[in-house]
Amino acid sequence: MEEYKPIIPKGKFVYLEGPKPRSFEFLFAFSVWKEFIKGFRNLHFIGPAITVFGGARFKPDHMYYKMAEEIGKRIALSGFATVTGGGPGIMEAANKGAFESGGKSIGINVLLPFEQSGNPYVHKTTTIKYFFVRKTLLLKYSYAFIVMPGGFGTLDELFETLTLMQTDIVHDFPVVLIGKEYWAKMWEFVNHMSYEKTISPEDLNLIKITDDIDEAMEHIFKYVGSYYKIEKRMKPIWWLFEKS
């Protein structure tokens, strides 16, 4: 039987389209390595950070956009860097709040054919080819995670974060979901998972859901202050062409 070979439109990402020639696989692995190194070099000196996840489709007049802007401001005033996916919507709002409040504002963008474009409210940005590299970078430098309403991408980021925490690959950093009404059905299903014993009852403690920004920030900083010591960061080495 002749092997089925899908027709891939020119310019599409093809690295998950089945086996490729060995030379392609080697170059792909090398490309992934380069993306990680680029991210590490750009973000190594940003200091302690909090990552804000959320949808790209919210406009500046939306309630969630305004809440994310306030969250970015609160993070900045606390002395932490604000890290987002670097795009529009919630990401832009959180970056804007941090940027305009004098805090560090970081964007980790992803190369997409539509929807995702960089926002102007960042001090440092890096654009990554691969989602899995980008998600690693969004987690790597942060002490807490704030999840605003969003779509498939936001759910992907949320559940990957929770899975890594559940399996002790990432320590139990606080995860706060903003928007009780928005997340109600998902939380109902998560409780159903606990009932069916597909997750442990204590896994429910990984998440806090609130509409109150004060409550969210108090929860985060109480947790971080109680369980984590923020270590002094290394300084850039000039002969490695590193920049702070």
Question: What tokens appear for 186 in the block?
Answer: 């998902």
- H-only helix segments in 50-151: 63-77, 90-99, 131-140
Which of 228, 163, 212, 171 lies closest to 190, judged by CA?
A: 163
Q: Where are the domains of the chain?
A: 32-226
- The residue-averaged pLDDT of 213-234 equals 84
Q: Is the pLDDT of residue 117 over 60?
A: yes
Domain 32-226, CATH number (from 3.40.50.2300, 3.40.50.450, 3.40.50.150, 3.80.10.10): 3.40.50.450
DSSP state letter for 6: P
User: How far is 231 from 222, CA to CA, in rounded Å?
Assistant: 17
Q: Which residue has the higher pLDDT, 116 or 219?
A: 219
Closest CA to 85 of 175, 172, 146, 14: 146
- Structure confidence at residue 234 (pLDDT): 76
Global pTM reads 0.90
pLDDT > 70 in the chain, percent: 91
Q: What is the pLDDT of residues 28-84, one digit of tens each?
A: 999 999 999 999 999 999 999 999 999 999 999 999 999 999 999 999 999 999 999
- pLDDT for the residue numbered 113: 65
| Residues 154/116, Cβ–Cβ less than 8 Å | no
- In the structure, what pLDDT confidence band is assigned to residue 225 with cuts at 50, 70 and 90? confident
Q: Which pLDDT score, from 0 to 100, does residue 15 have? A: 72
